[in-house]
Amino acid sequence: MRFIMTLGGLLAVSAALLAETAKPVPVVVDDAHIRAIDDHLTRAAKRGMNGSILIRRHGEVLLRKAYGVRDRENGEPLRLEHGFTIGSIVKPINAVGILKLDGS
């Protein structure tokens, strides 16, 4: 049991170190469609849009990039490793599931 706990601790530390050292790197593949999407999002970011995008085709990353700013007051740019706080979408999904189970 002690071995399993030690192994679990080592895995947790290893995962944390890997996550810290494996920061996502922006990728823009030299493709006309991908460049058009990147240009559009870059223009939108200049008008105040903030967000990030990941486009993959058959496992190959074609576009991975963050746009806009994280903190408008300080002008801190948005980076790929920044998270987003989004609204709770789980409640309506649960409500639909409950209604389906109820038969309504």
Give catalytic residue positions: 88
- Dig out the tokens for 57 from the structure: 């085709």
Q: Are 49 and 67 in contact (CB under 8 A)?
A: yes
Which residues are registered as beta bridge partners of 56?
Answer: 61
Residue that the structure tokens 């890997």 belong to: 18
Distance CA 25, CA 7 (A): 30
Pseudo-torsion of CA 30, 31, 37, 38, nearest 10°?
A: 10
